[in-house]
Structure 1
Amino acid sequence: MRIIKLNATDSTNSYLRHLNTLEKVEDYTAVITKNQTQGKGQRGTVWLSESSKNLTFSVFKDVSAIDLKEPFYMSMAAALAVLNALHGLSLPRLSVKWPNDILSENKKICGILIENVIKQNSINASIIGIGLNVNQTEFENLPQASSLKRITGQHFDTDELALGILQQLKHYFLLLEAGRHSEVKTEYENLLFRKNKPSTFKDAEGLMFSGFIKGVAPSGCLQVLLEDDILKEFNLKEISLLY
């Protein structure tokens, strides 16, 4: 397992993607930086992080040996890897806010962005970008954000956290390689934020509605129980869950 440490880079995902064009990248190669200047989040958002206080890294995963008819299983595996690496750190009520934000109580402590490498019209590899709020304690204009230190009062070693996440990533991708997709999906669904609780959503037009999260489809669409017992599936561009 190769770990590349950088003082600064625009984006660890971009760094790994460029490296993959220059050489054959070893499976589970990780790029860790103290300062990410142009970090990316879901839906084209920007991931802001104070220098040297958080864990910002990306992992190269060769997925050529995995049956990936539904790429969302990689997202589930990555979310479970981060969440399980955080167990035992005195963080209350860890959960996954669909599709793959990690929450403690109702505060976001981690975001994940997966970018796929396509070769011959199929996914050959994935670059898993992980931004974990560790020792930063101030989040200006981000009321839903928090960090490990802010929640627990403890200071954490980011390198140890990275190694723990890498170990968990190997565990969950081994399950996928063994064809145990249903186990990964069941565990993911059991940890979904606000599952089976009355929740408020906003659609692409900005209209709000209520429903109950029931699970996810293999495609990654969120399954929401609406009025009149209608179970409807929504993709990431169609719906957002309001806190």
Structure 2
Amino acid sequence: MSIHFVTDQIVFLEQIDSTNDFLKKLVKEQQVKEPFCVYTNFQTNGKGQRQNTWQSKKGENLLVSFLVDSIKEIRLLPHLNKCIALGIIEILKSLEIRDVSIKWPNDIYVGDQKIAGILIENVIEGKHIKHCVLGVGLNVNQTEFNGLSATSLKQILRKESSNEGLLQILFDHFYKLIHLNEFEISERVNKFVYRKGKRVTFQREDGIKEYIVDTICNNGNLGVMDGNQFIELEHHRVKWIK
């Protein structure tokens, strides 16, 4: 396996099974501290939410995992999720891409097509966070998605973009965002909630239900309106249908 230190905080691997798994191994061996990330051209076993795999063509997308070990309060785990999502969103906005949103809990959309996904894995010791690994897959130069509802920067901008350039911007931005006030981050995130104000169908444990999407709460739940009642949905208990 070829390992290249781009800087003392950024490692590049030509190919790896999973950047999340590789970074967790480095942390376990006490080799790295925040700020630090690992990125690759190709993952043989890339991970997505709900035990899904991340589909990506070799060298065409940004596949990266970030380490956070400075934030210890468990209640701030949703804050980290919002920060990485906001970092991606604000990069897309800086490229003048319109209709960008966060599809709760961990996908970034342009219109109704997915452009990025996030996977966070945490190590908890007692009542505190030991560290978090935040994996990101951003569709950059890929143009074929085998019938999936997905898009990429190349499809939108009609030109190729540099994975390395995007990584450096996201690296700098993300590590600034995580130390901002959690309520400020929530306010910024809630400007970009997918289907906000619209009726959405969810699969719940007790059946199918429609709600109007309202907000992403400070605790990471999705706030929705059920008639005149505001309720919160937990991501591991519901699934988007349409």
Q: Would you call these one fold, judging by a TM-score over 0.5?
A: yes
Q: Report if the CA contact (8 A) 1:32-1:55 is conserved.
A: yes
Q: Within 1, Cα distance between the matches of 2:139 and 2:172?
A: 19
Q: Within 1, Cα distance between the matches of 2:186 and 2:73?
A: 15
Q: Within 1, Cα distance between the matches of 2:161 and 2:205?
A: 39
For 1:21, the equivalent position in structure 2 comes to: 28
Higher mean displacement: 153-162 or 117-126? 117-126
Q: Report if the CA contact (8 A) 1:82-1:168 is conserved.
A: no
Task: Tell me if 1:166 matches 2:167.
Answer: no
Pick closer, same or farther for the CA change 1:204–1:136 going to 2, 3 Å. farther
- Deviation per CA, 1:67-126: give whole Å up to 9, x if none: 442411111111001111222223221111111211111110000001112234421211
Q: Report if the CA contact (8 A) 1:63-1:126 is conserved.
A: no
- Deviation per CA, 1:13-56: give whole Å up to 9, x if none: 00000111112412121101111110111111110110000000
Task: Tell me if 1:212 matches 2:212.
Answer: yes
| Counterpart residue identity of residue 198, structure 2 | K
Shift in Å, 1:181: 1.2
For 2:123, the equivalent position in structure 1 comes to: 117
Structure 2 alignment gaps of length 5 or more: 1-7
Q: Within 2, Cα distance between the matches of 1:119 and 1:67?
A: 11
Q: 2:58 aligns with which of 51, 62, 67?
A: 51
For 1:230, the equivalent position in structure 2 comes to: 229
- Deviation per CA, 1:157-191: give whole Å up to 9, x if none: 0000001111110221120xxxx111111111121
Q: Within 2, Cα distance between the matches of 1:122 and 1:68?
A: 6
Higher mean displacement: 89-98 or 155-164? 89-98
What is the TM-score with the length of structure 2 in the denominator?
0.91
Task: Tell me if 1:101 matches 2:113.
Answer: no
Off by >3 Å, runs of 4+ in structure 1:
none
SS in 1 for 2:26: helix
SS in 1 for 2:50: helix
Shift in Å, 1:4: 0.7
- Identity level (%): 31
Q: Report if the CA contact (8 A) 1:90-1:152 is conserved.
A: no
| Counterpart residue identity of residue 200, structure 2 | S
- Deviation per CA, 1:191-219: give whole Å up to 9, x if none: 101111222222246x4332111112322
For 1:128, the equivalent position in structure 2 comes to: 134
| Counterpart residue identity of residue 210, structure 2 | S
Structure 1 alignment gaps of length 5 or more: none
Coordinate RMSD, CA, aligned: 1.6
Q: Report if the CA contact (8 A) 2:74-2:128 is conserved.
A: no
| Counterpart residue identity of residue 112, structure 1 | I
Q: Within 1, Cα distance between the matches of 2:237 and 2:208?
A: 12
For 1:192, the equivalent position in structure 2 comes to: 193
Q: Report if the CA contact (8 A) 2:214-2:224 is conserved.
A: yes
Task: Tell me if 1:72 matches 2:71.
Answer: no
For 1:2, the equivalent position in structure 2 comes to: 9
Q: Report if the CA contact (8 A) 2:40-2:64 is conserved.
A: yes
Q: Report if the CA contact (8 A) 1:223-1:233 is conserved.
A: yes
What is the TM-score with the length of structure 1 in the denominator?
0.91
Q: Within 1, Cα distance between the matches of 2:199 and 2:53?
A: 30
